[in-house]
Chains A and B, each alone.
Chain A
Amino acid sequence: MATVRPPDANSLLDAAQDQVQKNRQRIEKGLDILLAREEPLVGVTPKDVIYSRGTLRLYHYRPMSDEVYRVPVVLIMSLVSKPFILDLTFGQSFIQYMLAQGFDVFMVDWGIPRPEDKHLKLDDYVLDFMPRCFEEVQKATGEDDYTMLGYCLGGQLALMYGGVFPEAPVKNLICAATPVDMEGMGLFRHFSDPRWFDVDRLVDAVGNIPPDFMLRSFEMLRPMDRWMSYVRLIDNLWDPVFVYGYRIMYKWTNEQIPFPGEAYRQMIRELMWENKLMKNTFTLDNRRVDTKAITCPVLNLMAEHDHIAPHAATKPLLDIVGSQDKEDVLLKGGHVSLVAGKNALGRLWPKVSDWLGERSV
């Protein structure tokens, strides 16, 4: 039987030295966070604003090569969060990756709604802002057709656009973490049940839905996440790479933006309660949103453990479009790790690039 010898003085000293070093780094990095020193830079990929209107900005990212795919890619962002999730930082930016792969990338950033934007409805976004942005993309590229890539609620907006303008020259549609069947929205649906949630009273009282309300709603879906993330941070506080990644994600999750009041009312009443997008009965300004009329190639990207847009809500997306060329991609991970982080870098981004490359000539 092997006998366990006690460690000698040198190894104990080495271990102690290592711990002292780590604790010194923990204190240093902890102070950086507490004092908000050296805030990580996000969304720094070079870009030009080619169109702006109110808080809306249409960005054109500067191409990284002198030869790009013919069809431009237009990213449609969500209304509930800041768009830099797709452009986190160097080496962790989906946009940089796509530029490096030879795509011409545009982004529709809705900006931070102002109090006077409380009147904005989904009708304004889909029937007015989006067509105007696509016109600008056409002008900037000289190409008629374009690919729409929507993340989360941006995917719903893209679907609505495709459904209400079936004649629009949409070459491809990619939806990432896009819920369509609201019956699969789990706790979100339960929280907003009409038996106890009076959306009219809330919107009439506050106008735009406050960012704090949005943040707490997301946090309630997994209440322990925030506390456990602090524990993990303390555990890894000595590791600059972990701390940097943590600070970027913390910045994104905590910098919520207000949700335009009327659009929120519409989302809750017509999509969450009546599930109109799934039932193909949704209308915008009396125009039917017929998602079955979407016939371009469609890629549906889903995360297996997405607690914000659960798999049950994202899975039926391909059933509600009329395309022949359509594909589901289900990856491990959650709502954010689907599009950002190591998981995305190694698996999702190459998949998107390959799928889109073949359909962008």
Chain B
Amino acid sequence: MPENSTRTDGAGAEAMELWRNWLTETERQWNSFFSEVMGRDSFGRVAGSYMEAYSVIQRVLNQGMERYLNTFNLPTHSDVVELGERLHNIEERLASLEANLGNLASAAGVETSASVTQLRPRRTRRPRTQKNESK
């Protein structure tokens, strides 16, 4: 019985293996077909026209949306971006203040919380080959 079972499993596994090989080969062939098609100038021109249309639509939509939002007295995308930029500037200033405080603290010999909590391993490790040579 084990012999038969092995034979059944073996045949099944073989079929699956054949199918998987076919799948890989099909994938390779289709990919190379598409690569060949997309490598043509005509495809490039079509893709370029699509991108151009996409850019125009995007710009028109943005402008239209901005007008509508302004009409309804709602913040527009550019308002939100502007707000983000202002927040960013505040963050930058805070970071620079923090850095200056850190510098002052280290100059005064005060350890910051980060330097206290961080593990400080010895920086003396050598690669195995060099260790063996030194022995």
Contacts and interface: CB of A to CB of B under 8 A. Distances in A.
29 contacts: A11-B4, A15-B12, A54-B91, A66-B119, A66-B121, A67-B122, A67-B124, A68-B125, A70-B123, A70-B125, A102-B125, A115-B80, A116-B82, A187-B39, A190-B38, A191-B38, A197-B47, A198-B48, A202-B51, A205-B59, A220-B38, A222-B31, A223-B34, A224-B30, A224-B31, A225-B31, A228-B23, A358-B130, A361-B127
Interface in B77-131: 77, 80-82, 84-85, 88, 91-92, 95, 114, 118-119, 121-130
A334 to B, nearest CB: 12
B8 interface: yes
A116 B127 contact: no
Interface string A80-118: 000000000000000000000010100000000011100
B1 interface: yes
Interface residues of B, number: 54
Closest 7 CB pairs of A and B: A196-B48, A357-B127, A205-B55, A11-B5, A116-B84, A70-B123, A228-B27
B1 A10 contact: yes
A232 B16 CA distance: 12
A193 B31 contact: no
A50 interface: yes
Contact of A193 (B20, B23, B44): B44
Contacts of B55: 198, 201-202, 204-206
Interface stretch (A57-65, A172-180, A291-299): A57-65
A141 interface: yes
Interface in A30-53: 48, 50, 52-53
A32 to B, nearest CB: 23
Contacts of B91: 53-54
Given A5-B4, A53-B95, A187-B39, A196 B84 contact: no
Size class of the contact patch on chain A:
35 or more
Contacts of A104: 121, 123
Nearest to A196: B48
A114 B128 CA distance: 45
A143 interface: yes
Contacts of B45: 195-196
B21 to A, nearest CB: 13
B14 interface: no
Contacts of A198: 48, 51-52, 55
Contacts of A69: 123, 125
B121 A197 contact: no
